[in-house]
Amino acid sequence: MPILEVSQLGKRFGGLDALSDVDFSVEPGEIIGVIGPNGAGKSTFFNVLSGVMKPSTGKVVFDGRDVTGKKPHRIAQRGLVRTFQGTVLFSDLPVFDNVLVACHIPAHENMVADMLGLPSVRAREAAMRERTEEIIELAGLSAVRDKLAHDLPHGHQRALGVALALATGPKLLCLDEPVTGMNADEIEAMIAFIARIRERGITILLVEHSMKVVMSICERIMVLNFGCKIAEGTPDEVQNDPAVIEAYLGRPDEDVA
Amino acid sequence: MTKASPLRWVGIGVLALALAVVLALVPFVGGSYYAHIGILVFLNITLVLGYRLLCVAGLYSFCQITFFGIGAYTSALLSTRLGWPVWLCFVAAGIVAALFSMGLILPAARVRGVYFFLVTFGFLEVMNAVFLHWSSLTGGDAGVLVSAPLIGTGTQTQDYFVILAFVVITVFVMWRIERSRFGRELAPIGNAEGLAAVSGINVLQNRVLAFAIGAAVAGFAGSLFAHDAAYISANDFSMWDTIYILVWLVVGGPRKMWGPIVGAVAMTLIAEFLRMSGIMQALFYAGVLLVVVMAMPQGIVGFVDMIRIRFGRRTPPAAELQTVSEPPRAESLVEGSQ
């Protein structure tokens, strides 16, 4: 059974179809890329999936449940978590505290027991700290765990953003252009981080501009253009698809004219 | 926490004990004037702690003092008109303030930033008009004389200890909130609302709760104020009083819980001890505010933290903050500046 199934998904802004009739599904454990030229509807697709925007048409089924038009925090609690391009929760707190806070989000606890600091709560607190350390290590941020988030170089900040999403315990992690603006070393580190996340069995949906990254890590790719799905397949298939080539490079006869 | 050494806990214990002894001696050594200042400081601490909770969640309101006023009037009127016992008036004051706050926040949570500020400013002005002009209920200009004492015979010393107990409870509750899931979710909401929501935080529910808790604390404090002062009027809950709360928060630094405590203690004592010096009071007060805002944008506590981080000492995670031991520092800080 697919972990995410999207059918006939559409989003209309006034007279503009930012997204129309997209059918798409993701199997558990997959790593899938969504690409397309600027304005193709990639961000809208992410916004509709995560509940930031309500779709105009269609249905989003996540983990066997219809989450169409649900509030973002509900969708996130179900396990569909997305990152934003370059926002961290507390820019003036250390890396460790940032991740610790995110670790607390999935814990469902009794507020009264929580406030009284009962032994069970203390035990969980210790477990949270352990988990925080683990995630920081996974993100390759151990060396900077005590630095303030806003003092980190760009690559580390982005890694922290992904670590925060990871800390909330997602089943499907949606990464919004995780390597934008990174240098070659940072891109390599991020790719390795994404690979480590995958090894833990988390399904990944990746929106990315950099074709190189998408081609090198994704098993399957969906291509959007003007809000419509124009192709879907393995990196090789997509690369050789005439519709995709046209979307990115233009029609051959346009060049001639 | 497990990592804190036993020695550290002993140190905290000794500090807390010393603080307790000092606070217990104030009314006996200093007399009723110092008891009065103590009461003022305590009430201000509770006001700013309640206010901090909403500010952390990004709700910079302008009507915290109004909930204090609503609590004060509720308590005063129930006591004088209906003859309710004071403890019941106290409970009702917090509940009524919280109910008013819910009525305000449910529509007001739809707007952000400066618009939210203006909506709450409007609420402050409307309630002030009610306090001042609904004479048949609130006594209008004449205010309300509250004859029922807070406890016992209503001496300054007795009031002092009741309000001290209240501030201790408030600090404790706020400290527990800070470490609870609810408390940890507030700062992400204030920092990056959209990200908080897609990370699984219920933004609206948390904001409403923070606003209501902040208002309830102010309402309880208002009740204590009414019965301690024995007289309340609309003048006690004006725009200026709400600005002071904001000043304490900014001076202390809102990020850590003991920031606003330091701010409230320092600024209240400065204002009080310079009262006799006339214009100097305003100048000095404004000077301290300017220096803090320009040199320490994160407030006194944020500044101390920054130094600790810059010089390599690991900051204690939010969970390890030692709220109990901080007030004496604030006092020594004020002494140092005099």
Interface list for chain A against chain B, based on CB atoms closer than 8 Å: 50-52, 71-73, 75-77, 81-82, 84, 87-92, 94, 96-97, 100-102, 104-107, 109, 111, 114-117, 125-126, 146, 148, 164-165, 168
Domain boundary among A153, A184, A203: A153
DSSP A21: E
Structure confidence at residue B318 as a pLDDT band (50, 70, 90): very low
Percent residues over pLDDT 90 in chain A: 42
Rounded-to-10 torsion of CA A137, A142, A146, A147: -110
Distances (CA, A) of A185 to A96, A212, B47, B176: 23, 14, 50, 43
Which of B95, B100, B92, B141 shows the shortest CA–CA distance to B124?
A: B100
ipTM of the complex: 0.71
Percent residues over pLDDT 70 in chain B: 91
Structure confidence at residue B334 as a pLDDT band (50, 70, 90): very low
Each residue's pLDDT tens digit, A98-108:
888 888 776 65
Is B1 part of any domain? no
Interface mutation target, options B182, B195, B303, chain A, most CBs of A under 10 Å: B195
Structure confidence at residue B320 as a pLDDT band (50, 70, 90): very low
Each residue's pLDDT tens digit, A42-96:
889 999 999 989 999 999 999 999 999 899 988 988 899 988 776 666 777 789 9
- Order the strands of the A65-66 sheet from edge to edge: A16-26, A4-13, A57-62, A65-66
Domain boundary among A105, A128, A153: A153
| Cβ–Cβ gap A101/B2 under 8 Å | no
pLDDT at B26: 87
What stretches of A168-205 show up as alpha helix (H) in DSSP? 184-199
Is B252 part of any domain? yes
Separation CA A6–CA B109 (nearest Å): 32
A128 vs B contacts (CB less than 8 Å):
none
| Cβ–Cβ gap A81/B200 under 8 Å | yes
For residue A199, give the CATH number of its domain.
3.40.50.300
| pLDDT, mean of residues B182-211 | 86
Q: Would the pLDDT of B225 be above 90? A: yes
Each residue's pLDDT tens digit, B8-51:
888 889 999 999 999 888 888 888 889 999 999 999 999 999 99
Domain boundary among A127, A153, A179: A153
User: Whole domain around residue B147: which residue ranges?
Assistant: 6-337
DSSP A34: E
Residue A192: Cβ within 10 Å count: 12
Q: Would the pLDDT of A135 be above 90? A: yes
For residue B26, give the CATH number of its domain.
1.10.3470
Shared-domain flag, residues A63 and A182: yes
How many alpha carbons fall within 13 Å on the CB side of residue A212?
A: 6
| Cβ–Cβ gap A90/B191 under 8 Å | yes
| Cβ–Cβ gap B181/A71 under 8 Å | no
A97 vs B contacts (CB less than 8 Å):
315, 317-318
Q: Look-up: residue for tokens 């997204």?
A: A19
User: Whole domain around residue A130: which residue ranges?
Assistant: 88-153
pLDDT at B3: 54
Shared-domain flag, residues A28 and A61: yes
DSSP assignment of B116-180 equals HHHHHHHHHHHHHHHHHH-HHHH-GGG-EE--S-SSTT--HHHHHHHHHHHHHHHHHHHHHHHHS
Q: Would the pLDDT of B333 be above 60? A: no
Each residue's pLDDT tens digit, A109-124:
566 666 666 777 778 7
* CB-CB contact of A140 with A171 (8 Å): no
Shared-domain flag, residues A71 and A196: yes
How many domains does chain A fold into? Answer: 2
Each residue's pLDDT tens digit, B122-170:
999 999 999 999 989 998 888 898 888 888 888 888 899 999 999 999 9
Using CB atoms, pick whichever of A76, A91, A125 lies closest to residue B198: A76
| Cβ–Cβ gap B187/A52 under 8 Å | no
Mean pLDDT for all residues in chain B: 85
Query: Which residue is closest to A115 within chain B, CA to CA?
Result: B176
DSSP B314: P
